[in-house]
Amino acid sequence: MDHQHFEKKLLNDEQLTAEENRALRSHLPDCPTCSALVETNLALKHVRMTAPAPGFANRFTARLAARRKAQKRRHFFGGIILLISGTGVLLWLASPLLTAAFSSPADILTTWVSFIVASLSFLQTFGEAGRVVLRVATGFIPAEVWAFSLTFLSILGMFILSFSQKLLVQKQPV
Ligand SMILES: [Zn+2]
């Protein structure tokens, strides 16, 4: 039995016969490579056999549950912030429409219907965008990213509303 034989067996972590074991023991003092391989195999076996600390599964489950709870809370507050900022932007953008409605009472009904339609489509789009963001934004997203996406959604909402306002203005009778 030569070095090649031991090296191959040790690299594959193969079971050695009693005779092979004896031969390896006499080979090891002369061969640093095989000694290193034996040490590595022993270390790997030791790592593999290490059992987790008692109660590890319970602690892990508890930590996971706590993290899920925190994630849910974050999503909840994120949704509220989205809703509030969305409503704020909507009201701010709708104020010209509201003023127009009160200054010309004859068009009040048409304007109101248009306003409601525009609001609904805006809210729908905003809600869909928010849902997508919430779905993508799993708990590990930092606050800066939340703020950024909020700003982005607000700008998106402004575009949508100003666009629908233009459409409404065009549709309204002169
Ligand atoms: Zn060797």
Place 77 in a pLDDT band, splitting at 50, 70 and 90. Answer: confident
5 Cα: distance to centroid of ligand 1 (angstroms): 8
Q: What is the pTM of this model?
A: 0.30
Q: Which residue has the tokens 């100003």?
A: 162
Q: Is the dihedral angle over the CA atoms 116, 118, 122, 124 positive or is it negative?
A: positive
14 Cα: distance to centroid of ligand 1 (angstroms): 15
**Residue 149, phi then psi, degrees to nearest 5:** -65, -35
Mean pLDDT of 145-157: 81
Amino acid 152: pLDDT: 85
46 Cα: distance to centroid of ligand 1 (angstroms): 22
**Range of weakest confidence among 45-49, 92-96, 140-144:** 140-144
For ligand 1, an ion, list residues with CB under 5 A: 3, 6, 31, 34
Place 169 in a pLDDT band, splitting at 50, 70 and 90. Answer: low
Distance of CA 127 to the CA centre of its chain: 19
Give alpha helix (H) positions in the chain.
3-11, 18-27, 32-49, 56-103, 108-136, 143-171
Instruction: Identify whether the C-beta of residue 169 lies closer than 8 Å to the C-beta of residue 104.
Output: no
8 Cα: distance to centroid of ligand 1 (angstroms): 10
32 Cα: distance to centroid of ligand 1 (angstroms): 7
What the block records as the tokens of 99 is: 């003023």
Instruction: Provide the residue type at 107 as one letter.
Output: D
15 Cα: distance to centroid of ligand 1 (angstroms): 16
Amino acid 27: pLDDT: 94
36 Cα: distance to centroid of ligand 1 (angstroms): 9
Mean pLDDT of 136-161: 75
Per-residue pLDDT tens digits for 12-31? 888 899 999 999 999 999 99
Q: How far apart are alpha carbons 136 and 44 in whole angstroms? A: 39
Instruction: Provide the residue type at 88 as one letter.
Output: G
3 Cα: distance to centroid of ligand 1 (angstroms): 4
Mean pLDDT of 111-136: 77
